[in-house]
Amino acid sequence: MLLKRIFGKTDEKVSILGFGAMRLPMMENDPTKIDEKTTINLIQHAIDQGVNFIDTAYPYGGFDMSQAGESEPLVGKALKNGYREKVNISTKLPTWLIETREDMDKYLNLQLQRLETDYIDFYLIHGITTSYWNKLKELGFEEFLDKAISEGKIKYAGFSFHDRIELFQEVVDHYDWSFCLIQYNYLDENYQAGRKGLEYAFNKGLGVAVMEPLRGGQITVNIPQEVRDTFNQAEFKRSPAEWALRWVWNHPEVSVVLSGMNNMDDLNENISIANEAQSNSLNENELKIISQAKIIFEEKLAVGCTGCGYCLPCPAGVNIPENFRKYNDYYLFGSPETKERFQFVYNISMLNGGQASACTECGQCEEHCTQGIPIIKELKNVKKLYE
């Protein structure tokens, strides 16, 4: 049976595995073609197996942060025929589109329509950074959340976060939040809110949800052989995904981990892990093994991009996440002797455009990057390596 944990001061019992509906299944490996049937089947199967936390957002399932994506409507469709009553919906106010206090009501009402529901269980202020935070305070987001809760449009208010720990603590203390959503994995233990923020929020009574537990797949797919050898030293053999997920769930402060599961194999694997991943269940040797794997990764990764897509669309058409993925691939698995092969793969993947050399250095991407990556500088490095 899927394990559950109390979600902070809400006292709600949430499944420790949540379905993250940001990166949706595609047809023909084409990001412009969302596979609706597969998405709905995955969501409903997850719920049948005990998942009761579905996370989405206004732009998810889209390719332009200023436009509504397909995720919210697909979640709404998946939750018909009795599924809505079995789950908690989590979605987010599109912070970057808010110019007036009235905009907050407008987008919340639109999201209720898109999700085909009368209320949202967990509603977040999306992606708080210093600039967004100051604007939201000026516009009176506190009154908006209070009003939405009193009217029954949302049950609990929270926020997701992409900035420094000092701001995180300020945000936690500013309003009577019920929960928060932070990035946390064994490579990002001290990044953004990090462990310090996790413990700070938990001690303030907030439920803590975690995003990017697998770092966009970076710590599970095509990982270095040295990391595999390190994991194989353990008495109990686990997949890279299980090591990563169990490390996050090992923290008793974490209530729910959001995982993007685009196929049935990944979903079933995650559910199997979530059936037994108790807090404080990793022993000292296992934690040491994960620390060793972390060191190997840190020595090899060139760019800390998780592939979230917040930097898109690029006005010049640069496929920024794909450029960084191919760049990291070389540093993880390549060598001077194999450079030509990696260049060939890069050029094939960019046949329809999107090369690093198309960058005009407008800087729009860096304003949206949740990882604080100097994208312009790194794209020049990609160009130097591959073009």
Residue 310's pLDDT band (boundaries 50, 70, 90)?
confident
Co-location of 328 and 264 in the same domain: no
Closest of 353, 358, 347, 356 to residue 316, by C-alpha:
358
pLDDT, tens digit, 9 for 90 and up, residues 281-297: 999 999 999 999 999 98
Q: Which CA distances in Å does 23 have to 60, 116, 259?
A: 7, 21, 10
- Domain boundary, last residue among 282, 300, 333: 282
Co-location of 278 and 358 in the same domain: no
- Domain boundary, last residue among 282, 307, 341: 282
| Share in percent of the chain as helix, strand, coil (round to 5) | 45, 15, 40
Please indicate whether residue 67 or residue 104 has the higher confidence score (pLDDT): 104
User: How does the average pLDDT of the chain come out, rounded?
Assistant: 93
Co-location of 183 and 83 in the same domain: yes
Co-location of 236 and 377 in the same domain: no
Residue 342 has pLDDT above 90, yes or no: no
In terms of C-beta density within 10 A (0-12 exposed, 13-18 middle, 19 or more buried), how is residue 101 classed? middle
Could you give the number of structural domains in the chain?
Answer: 2
Asked, for residue 139, whether it belongs to a domain, the answer is: yes
Co-location of 225 and 354 in the same domain: no
CA pair distance 128, 254, nearest whole angstrom: 20
Mean pLDDT of 97-113: 97
% of the chain surpassing 70 pLDDT: 99
Supply the pLDDT for residue 35.
Answer: 92
CA pair distance 290, 297, nearest whole angstrom: 11
Co-location of 187 and 244 in the same domain: yes
Supply the pLDDT for residue 190.
Answer: 87
Angle made by CA atoms 235, 240, 244, in degrees to the nearest 5:
95
Supply the pLDDT for residue 56.
Answer: 97
CA pair distance 319, 360, nearest whole angstrom: 13
Residue 94 has pLDDT above 70, yes or no: yes
Report yes or no: 105 and 139 within 8 Å, Cβ to Cβ: no
CATH of the domain at 145: 3.20.20.100
Supply the pLDDT for residue 87.
Answer: 98
Supply the pLDDT for residue 131.
Answer: 84
Mean pLDDT of 313-334: 88
Mean pLDDT of 133-154: 97
CA pair distance 112, 66, nearest whole angstrom: 18
Residue 336 has pLDDT above 80, yes or no: yes
Co-location of 211 and 123 in the same domain: yes
Supply the pLDDT for residue 90.
Answer: 98
Decide: helix, strand or coil at residue 312. Answer: coil
Residue 2 has pLDDT above 70, yes or no: yes
Exposed e or buried b per residue across 218-236, where buried means at least 16 C-beta atoms within 10 angstroms of its C-beta:
bbbeebbeebeebbeebee
The model's pTM is 0.86
CA pair distance 62, 166, nearest whole angstrom: 32
Asked, for residue 252, whether it belongs to a domain, the answer is: yes
Range of the domain at 264: 4-282
Report yes or no: 90 and 122 within 8 Å, Cβ to Cβ: yes
Asked, for residue 210, whether it belongs to a domain, the answer is: yes
CA pair distance 29, 25, nearest whole angstrom: 9
Co-location of 204 and 127 in the same domain: yes
Asked, for residue 289, whether it belongs to a domain, the answer is: no
- Domain boundary, last residue among 282, 311, 328: 282
Please indicate whether residue 345 or residue 277 has the higher confidence score (pLDDT): 277
CA pair distance 57, 60, nearest whole angstrom: 5
Residue 153's pLDDT band (boundaries 50, 70, 90)?
very high
CA dihedral 342, 334, 229, 191 (to 10 degrees): -90
Asked, for residue 314, whether it belongs to a domain, the answer is: no
Residue 349 has pLDDT above 80, yes or no: no
Residue 32 has pLDDT above 70, yes or no: no
Supply the pLDDT for residue 329.
Answer: 82
Residues in a beta bridge with 207 = 179
Indicate the DSSP class of residue 258: E
Range of 265-274, 301-310, 323-332, 335-344 with top mean pLDDT: 265-274
pLDDT, tens digit, 9 for 90 and up, residues 236-252: 899 999 999 999 999 99
Asked, for residue 305, whether it belongs to a domain, the answer is: no
DSSP per-residue codes, 29-43: TEEEEE-HHHHHHHH
Asked, for residue 146, whether it belongs to a domain, the answer is: yes
Co-location of 272 and 328 in the same domain: no
Supply the pLDDT for residue 31.
Answer: 63
Mean pLDDT of 309-326: 89
Co-location of 82 and 215 in the same domain: yes
Asked, for residue 105, whether it belongs to a domain, the answer is: yes
